[in-house]
């Protein structure tokens, strides 16, 4: 049983002359209110940072100081970048300042690469603040105009929290096969695997991994299941790297996804992972469907009304470990540290490859019975974020 701490990247681009959304950070005693977003250059690359606590700037409070600032990602632009993908950047119209918006409309904000829902009709005169800034406003009237839907189509695989998915379709809505994109990622720890999750209709993955100015390895996987498949393909894949990549490395990855059926592919997540090999699995694994659909039966006539919604995977697993190999204290403390955030969990053993035993999500219960001091048990119940 392995768990992976994820490191999320960002969609790559070729730069022209960018027009940045946010102003550059200044050290000259500037007051920054909570939630203010600035850009800051690190190793010749501009990134956006969000202010955690209101403060006055100084040389020792620069955006890389994690007490005062949270790194958002690559600095966002409204023009000047050509993104390296053949899919539509968003399925919705791009927000335009000074343009009236109907209630219920969804628009793409290039400022943070997310889609926003207009909770009410917005007049042209009131629509001069981009949605990503409006939702952070202390003005309640302005903040109530928009609601976050999720990351826009091309950025969906780099959002580990909302469950949104990239769809392999171009600007005209027609599917693209293969679906291609490139992304960059700077890892905070050494990483051993490239992880794909929340996939639909993907039969083959090709990923070219580069860093230090050269291609290091090409990872490929054909993931069409053997035997009768009814057109169904696995939803996740973990590609182990031949050589672990050191912490702090800027990695570039070109990904090609080939479709199984004549429909657009979908991808919920791609990331690098730091691996922790915790225990062994062989028995006591129980995947379940966690259904959010409604099935209501009329108590008088017995008729049933169905409301189809999404579902998730719930998995109850019993794992075992040898205390001479790894201490139960280490496992317990490690899982405590990973509590409350999404991670990749793989309950396969060395000889199995079940898709429903790979879960990107969170654990809801962990307990460690101690039948003997020389061998331990690890019981976990986990739920997926992506289907």
Residue with tokens 């990331």: 271
Q: Which of 101, 106, 103 is nearest to 123 (CA)?
A: 101
Q: What is the dihedral of CA 316, 320, 325, 328, to 10 degrees?
A: 70
Sign (positive or negative) of CA dihedral 162, 163, 167, 173: negative
* Model confidence at 209: pLDDT above 80: yes
Residue 309 has a pLDDT of 84
The percent of residues in the chain predicted with pLDDT above 70, rounded, is: 99
CB atoms within 10 A of CB 148: 15
Query: Mean pLDDT over all residues of the chain?
Result: 91
Output the CA torsion 337→340→341→343 (10° steps). Answer: 70
Q: How far apart are CA 236 and CA 198, in angstroms?
A: 6
* Segment (H or E) for 297: strand 294-297
pLDDT at 244: 95
Region 243-263: mean pLDDT is 94
End-to-end CA distance of the chain: 21
Q: Please tell me the predicted confidence (pLDDT) of residue 164.
A: 87
Give the least confident one: 12-21, 93-102, 128-137.
Answer: 12-21
Report domain extents, the chain: 22-75, 92-151, 169-277, 285-384
Cα 382 from Cα 287, distance rounded (Å): 9
**80 pLDDT band (50/70/90 cuts)?**
low
User: How many residues are listed for the chain in this entry?
Assistant: 387
Do residues 109 and 78 lie in contact, with contact meaning Cβ atoms separated by under 8 Å? Answer: no
What does the block give as tokens for 221?
């996987």
Indicate the SS3 state at residue 58: coil
Distance of CA 347 to the CA centre of its chain: 20
Q: Which two tokens stand for residue 118?
A: 């207009």
Burial class (CB in 10 A: 0-12, 13-18, 19+), 150: middle
Quick: pLDDT tens for 306-343. 988 888 899 999 999 999 999 999 999 999 999 999 99
> What contacts 63, CB < 8 A, 6 or more positions away?
25, 38, 40, 47, 49, 69, 71
Whether the per-residue pLDDT at 371 is higher than 90: the answer is no
CATH architecture, domain defined by 22-75: Ribbon (2.10)
pLDDT, tens digit (0-9, with 9 covering 90-100), for 271-319: 999 999 999 999 989 999 998 889 899 888 889 999 888 888 999 999 9
pLDDT for res 132:
86
Structure tokens given for 197: 């999750």
Please give the helix or strand (H or E) that residue 333 lies within, else none: helix 328-337
Q: Identify whether the C-beta of residue 194 lies closer than 8 Å to the C-beta of residue 267.
A: no
Reported in sequence order, the residue ranges of 44-167 that DSSP labels E, i.e. its strands, are 45-51, 55-56, 69-74, 77-83, 93-94, 106-109, 114-118, 146-151, 166-167
Distance CA 91, CA 154 (A): 9
User: What whole-number distance in Å separates Cα of residue 4 and Cα of residue 190?
Assistant: 11
The 10s digit of each residue's pLDDT in 154-193 is 999 999 887 789 999 998 889 999 999 999 999 999 999 9
For domain 169-277, the CATH architecture is Sandwich (2.60)
Which of 236, 218, 209, 214 lies closest to 315 in space, CA to CA?
236
Compute the average pLDDT of residues 51-59.
94
Distance between CA atoms of residues 24 and 116, nearest Å: 25
């Amino acid at each position: 049983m392995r768990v992976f701490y994820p490191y999320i990247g960002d969609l790559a681009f070729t730069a022209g002359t960018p027009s940045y959304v946010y102003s550059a950070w200044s050290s000259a005693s500037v007051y920054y209110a909570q939630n203010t977003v600035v850009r800051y250059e690190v190793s010749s690359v501009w990134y956006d940072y969000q202010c955690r606590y209101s403060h006055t700037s100084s040389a020792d409070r620069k955006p890389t100081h994690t007490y005062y600032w949270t790194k958002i990602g690559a600095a966002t632009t409204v023009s000047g970048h050509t993104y390296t993908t053949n899919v539509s950047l968003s399925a919705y119209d791009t927000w335009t300042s000074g343009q009236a918006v109907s209630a219920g409309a969804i628009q793409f904000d290039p400022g943070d690469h997310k889609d926003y829902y207009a909770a009410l009709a917005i007049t042209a005169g009131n629509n001069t603040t981009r949605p990503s800034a409006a939702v952070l406003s202390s003005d309640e009237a302005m903040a109530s105009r928009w609601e976050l839907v999720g990351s826009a189509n091309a950025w969906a695989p780099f959002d580990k929290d909302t469950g949104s998915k990239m769809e392999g379709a171009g600007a005209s809505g027609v599917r693209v096969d293969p679906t291609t994109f490139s992304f960059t990622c700077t890892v905070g720890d050494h990483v051993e695997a490239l992880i794909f999750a929340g996939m639909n209709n993907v039969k083959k993955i090709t990923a070219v991994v580069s860093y230090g100015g050269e291609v290091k390895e090409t990872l490929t996987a054909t993931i069409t299941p053997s035997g009768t498949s009814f057109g169904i393909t696995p939803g996740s894949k973990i590609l182990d790297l031949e050589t672990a990549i050191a912490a702090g490395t800027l990695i570039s990855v070109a990904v090609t996804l080939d479709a199984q059926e004549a429909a657009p592919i979908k991808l919920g997540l791609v990331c690098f992972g730091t691996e922790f090999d915790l225990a062994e699995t062989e028995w006591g694994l129980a995947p379940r469907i966690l259904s959010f659909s409604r099935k209501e039966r009329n108590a008088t006539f017995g008729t049933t009304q169905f409301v189809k919604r999404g579902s998730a995977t719930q998995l109850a697993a019993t794992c075992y470990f040898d205390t001479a190999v790894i201490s139960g204290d280490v496992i317990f403390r490690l899982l405590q540290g990973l509590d409350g955030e999404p991670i990749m969990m793989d309950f396969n053993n060395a000889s199995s490859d079940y898709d429903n035993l790979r879960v990107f999500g969170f654990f809801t219960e962990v307990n460690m019975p101690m039948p003997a001091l020389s061998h331990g048990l690890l019981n976990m119940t986990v739920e997926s974020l992506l289907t």
